[in-house]
Amino acid sequence: MNKKETLKQQILQLSREYYNEVHRDSKVFEPGKSFVNYGGRFFDAEELVNLIDSSLDFWLTAGPWAHKFEKRFADWLGVKYCSLTNSGSSANLLAFMTLTSPLLGERRIKKGDEVITVACGFPTTVTPIIQYGAIPVFVDVTIPEYNIDITQLETAYSDKTKAVMIAHSLGNPFDLQSVKDFCDRHHLWLVEDNCDALGSEYTINGETRKTGTIGHIGTSSFYPPHHMTMGEGGAVYTNDPLLNKITNSFRDWGRDCWCVGGVDNTCKYRFSKQFGELPVGYDHKYVYSHLGYNLKLTDMQAAIGCAQLDKLDSIVLARRKNFQTLLDGLNDTEGLILPEPQKNSNPSWFGFLISVKEDAGFTRNELSEYLESKKIQTRNLFAGNLLKHPAFNEMRQNGDGYRVVGDLKGTDFILNNTFWIGVYPGMTEEMLQYMISTIKEFVTSRKA
**Do 322 and 171 touch, CB atoms closer than 8 A?**
no
Kindly state the helix (H) or strand (E) to which residue 241 belongs, with its residue range: helix 241-251
* Rounded average pLDDT over 389-397: 81
Is the model's pLDDT at 400 over the cut of 80? Answer: no
368 closest CA partner among 354, 382, 357, 358: 354
Whole-angstrom distance, CA of residue 89 vs CA of residue 100: 17
Within a domain: 134: yes
pLDDT of residue 120: 97
Helices and strands (H, E) in the chain, number of each type:
14, 17
- Range of the structural domain that residue 88 is part of: 27-257+288-447
Kindly state the helix (H) or strand (E) to which residue 167 belongs, with its residue range: strand 161-167
Is the model's pLDDT at 347 over the cut of 90? Answer: yes
Q: What is the CATH number of the domain that holds 222?
A: 3.40.640.10
Is the model's pLDDT at 25 over the cut of 90? Answer: no
For residue 395, name the pLDDT band (cuts at 50, 70, 90): confident
Is the model's pLDDT at 96 over the cut of 90? Answer: yes
> Which segments of 3-79 does DSSP mark as H helices, in order?
3-18, 45-57, 64-77
pLDDT tens digit sequence for 135-147 = 999 999 999 999 9
For residue 399, name the pLDDT band (cuts at 50, 70, 90): low
Within a domain: 401: yes
305 closest CA partner among 10, 42, 22, 80: 42
Considering the candidates 67, 187, 216, 226, report the single residue annotated as catalytic: 226
pLDDT of residue 264: 81
* Rounded average pLDDT over 413-431: 97
**Neighbouring residues of 226: CB distance < 8 A, sequence distance ≥ 6:** 39, 88, 195, 196, 198, 220, 350
Within a domain: 263: no
Can you say whether the dihedral through the CA atoms of 76, 172, 89, 55 is positive or negative?
A: negative
Whole-angstrom distance, CA of residue 221 vs CA of residue 358: 34
For residue 392, name the pLDDT band (cuts at 50, 70, 90): confident
Structural domain count, the chain? 1
Pairing relation of β-strands 189-193 and 161-167? Answer: parallel
pLDDT of residue 260: 77
Laid out side by side, the sheet with 217-221 consists of 81-85, 234-238, 217-221, 189-193, 161-167, 114-118, 135-139, 403-404
CA angle 11, 12, 13 (to 5 degrees): 90
The single-letter DSSP state of residue 341 is P
Radius of gyration over every alpha carbon of the chain, rounded to an integer in angstroms: 23
Is 226 assigned a catalytic role?
yes
pLDDT tens digit sequence for 113-142 = 999 999 999 999 999 999 999 999 999 999
Provide the CA 208 distance to its chain's centre, in angstroms.
20
pLDDT of residue 145: 97
**Do 223 and 268 touch, CB atoms closer than 8 A?**
no
Is the model's pLDDT at 401 over the cut of 90? Answer: no
Is the model's pLDDT at 234 over the cut of 90? Answer: yes
Is the model's pLDDT at 397 over the cut of 90? Answer: no
Whole-angstrom distance, CA of residue 198 vs CA of residue 200: 6
Within a domain: 22: no
pLDDT of residue 239: 98
**Neighbouring residues of 435: CB distance < 8 A, sequence distance ≥ 6:** 36, 326, 371, 376, 421
In a 3-state reduction of DSSP, which class is residue 6?
A: helix
Whole-angstrom distance, CA of residue 347 vs CA of residue 345: 6
Provide the CA 259 distance to its chain's centre, in angstroms.
27
Whole-angstrom distance, CA of residue 418 vs CA of residue 430: 24
In this predicted structure, which of 79-88, 201-210, 388-397 has the lowest mean pLDDT?
Answer: 388-397
Whole-angstrom distance, CA of residue 430 vs CA of residue 425: 13
Whole-angstrom distance, CA of residue 196 vs CA of residue 222: 10
Intra-chain end-to-end CA distance of the chain, in Å: 73
Within a domain: 16: no
Whole-angstrom distance, CA of residue 291 vs CA of residue 98: 11
In this predicted structure, which of 167-171, 269-273, 360-364 has the lowest mean pLDDT?
Answer: 269-273
Whole-angstrom distance, CA of residue 436 vs CA of residue 326: 7
Whole-angstrom distance, CA of residue 197 vs CA of residue 159: 31
Angstrom CA distances, 254 to 21, 213, 400, stand at 45, 25, 30
pLDDT of residue 448: 65
Whole-angstrom distance, CA of residue 354 vs CA of residue 413: 12
Is the model's pLDDT at 418 over the cut of 90? Answer: yes
Within a domain: 206: yes
Whole-angstrom distance, CA of residue 97 vs CA of residue 243: 10
Within a domain: 264: no
pLDDT of residue 134: 97
Q: How many CA atoms lie within 13 A of 389 on its CB side?
A: 13
Within a domain: 7: no
pLDDT of residue 1: 78
pLDDT of residue 331: 97
Whole-angstrom distance, CA of residue 16 vs CA of residue 11: 9
* Rounded average pLDDT over 353-373: 98
**Percent of the chain whose predicted confidence (pLDDT) is above 70:** 99
Is the model's pLDDT at 374 over the cut of 90? Answer: yes
For residue 111, name the pLDDT band (cuts at 50, 70, 90): very high
Whole-angstrom distance, CA of residue 300 vs CA of residue 221: 16
For residue 65, name the pLDDT band (cuts at 50, 70, 90): very high
In this predicted structure, which of 21-30, 301-310, 421-430 has the lowest mean pLDDT?
Answer: 21-30
Residue 437 amino acid letter = S
* Rounded average pLDDT over 59-79: 96
For residue 257, name the pLDDT band (cuts at 50, 70, 90): confident
For residue 27, name the pLDDT band (cuts at 50, 70, 90): confident
pLDDT tens digit sequence for 261-274 = 677 877 788 998 89
Whole-angstrom distance, CA of residue 275 vs CA of residue 279: 8
